[in-house]
Amino acid sequence: MPSTPPRSRPNSANALPLGTRLYEFEIVGLVGEGGFGIVYLADDHSLQRRVAIKEYMPSSLAARGEDSSVIVRSERHSDTFEIGRRSFVNEARLLAQFDHPALLKVYRFWEANGTAYMAMPYYAGKTLRDVLRERGGRPPDEVWLKKILGPVMDALELMHAENCYHRDVAPDNIMLLRDERPVLLDFGAARRVISDMTQALTVILKPGYAPIEQYVEMPGVKQGPWTDIYALAAVIYFVITGRTPPAAVDRMLQDCYEPLATLAAGRYSDQFLTGIDHCLHVKGEDRPQSIAEMRAVLGMTGYVPTSAIASTHDPARPQPAAGQRLDTLIPSEIPATSHLSRLAPEPAPAPPHAAPPTGKKGPSTPRYAAAIATFGVLAASVFMFTRSPAPPPERPAEQSSPPLAPVATSPASAVTPAPVVARPVTLDEAFSATVAASDARFGLKVDKIHTPLTIGKDALSFVLSSQRNGLLYMLLWDKATAQLSQIFPNELDRANQISAGKPMPFPRPDWAYEADQPKGNWEVIAIVADSPRDFSVLRFDARSNGATQHVVEAALSESGQGPVGLGGEAHCADGKPCSPAFAALRFAVEEVSAADR
Which tens digit of pLDDT belongs to each residue from 489-514? 987 888 999 999 999 999 887 788 88
When pLDDT is averaged across residues 89-99 and rounded to a whole number, the result is 82
SS3 218: strand
Q: Using alpha carbons, select from 562, 529, 550 the residue that is nearest to residue 484.
A: 550
Summarised one tens digit per residue, pLDDT across range 333-351 is 322 222 222 222 333 333 3
Please state which of the ranges 87-91, 294-298, 318-322, 482-486 shows the lowest mean pLDDT: 318-322
Residue 543, pLDDT above cutoff 60:
yes
**318 - beta bridge partners?**
none
The per-residue pLDDT for 582 is 93
Q: Alpha-carbon distance 525 to 537, whole Å?
A: 17
Q: DSSP per residue over 42-70, as a string?
A: EEETTTTEEEEEEEE--TTTEEE-TTS-E
Domains located in the chain, CATH noted: 21-120 (3.30.200.20), 124-320+330-341 (1.10.510.10), 357-389+416-596 (no CATH)
Q: What percent of the chain has pLDDT over 70?
A: 73
What does pTM read for this prediction?
0.50
- How far from chain centre, in Å, is Cα 256? 34
Average pLDDT, integer, range 210-232:
86
> Is pLDDT above 70 for 61?
yes
Q: Is the pLDDT of residue 482 over 70?
A: yes
Q: Which helix (H) or strand (E) holds 429?
A: helix 427-436
The pLDDT of 201-217, averaged and rounded, is: 75
Name every residue whose Cβ is closer than 8 Å to that of residue 163 and which is 6 or more positions away in sequence. none
Residue 577 contacts residue 349 (beta carbons within 8 Å) = no
* Rounded Cα distance, 439 and 434, in Å: 10
Q: Sorting pLDDT into bands at 50, 70 and 90, what band is 387?
A: very low
Sign of torsion, CA 29 58 97 125? negative
- Residue 369's pLDDT is what? 33
Cα–Cα distance for residue pair 387/513, rounded to 1 Å: 9
What's the pLDDT band for 218 if we cut at 50, 70, 90?
A: low
Q: Which amino acid does the sequence have at 577?
A: P
> How many contiguous H segments (helices) and E segments (strands) does the chain have?
11, 30
Closest to 287 in 3D by CA, of 217, 225, 221: 225
Of the given ranges (86-95, 100-109, 528-537), which has the lowest mean pLDDT? Answer: 86-95
**What single-letter DSSP state applies at residue 489?**
S
* Closest to 466 in 3D by CA, of 495, 497, 490, 433: 497
Check: CB of residue 4 under 8 Å from CB of residue 10: no
Helix (H, G, I), strand (E, B) or coil at 132: helix
What 8-state DSSP symbol labels residue 9? -
Q: Is the dihedral of CA 418, 424, 429, 434 positive or negative?
A: positive
In this structure, of 116-125, 276-285, 325-334, the range with the lowest mean pLDDT score is 325-334
104 in Cβ contact with 332 (< 8 Å):
yes
